[in-house]
Structure 1
Amino acid sequence: MATISYHEQQCTKLRHPIAAASTNMVTAIRWEPPLSPMVKINVDASFDLHRGQAGLGEVIRDYNGVVLSCATKQCDFIQDSLFAEVYSIRLGLQLARDEGFRRVFWRVIA
């Protein structure tokens, strides 16, 4: 099981620019900010069918793109990818509530 320091390291990486790897394929990804004073929550999940495990991730940013909070979690006994996505949304809701955010905009990457 991952430790709190591991999750803090992962969140710290999100707060710093990441250099793009050199590849032959270029994909433009653009983050769309929420309207002020809202925050935007991006959630995603990965699923391993053979292990029945999922990796969940949530990032909360303000309208300037500043990372306000983030979380990751590994879950066991997950049935399928849809359940993993729903569980990720639930974790995002809990994170927003715990951080005191009430006006949120969602983005789920499916």
Structure 2
Amino acid sequence: MLIATQLEDVSLTSQTLNADGTPKRPMNAFMIFARRRRPQVSAENQSMRTGEISKLLSKEWTTMQMSEKQFYLDQAKILKENFNSKYPDYVYRRRPNNTRK
């Protein structure tokens, strides 16, 4: 299945654990889009900094039609469902400010 194949590299991050042992949450639709699109944008604009590329990706995402976003929304939904089935009792708890990077 094409979507399953495309999800393989994306889903790896949701299977790893944070330093405190909690599972990393699945990526949302924008993060999946940005992860797939960033290498192309950075190759086309090699002089751009990371922040500038992020702004460009954000603008591109905002102006995309819903039909174009649907692919990423579907992938995010699949990742979230997989995460919820793997960790049914998981409840996100925000870390205190002093422990963030």
| Same fold, TM-score > 0.5, yes or no | no
- The structure with the largest helix share of the pair is 2
Q: TM-score, normalised by structure 1?
A: 0.31
- The structure with the largest strand share of the pair is 1
| Structure of higher CA gyration radius | 2
Q: TM-score, normalised by structure 2?
A: 0.33
Relative contact order, higher structure (CA 8 A, sep 6+): 2
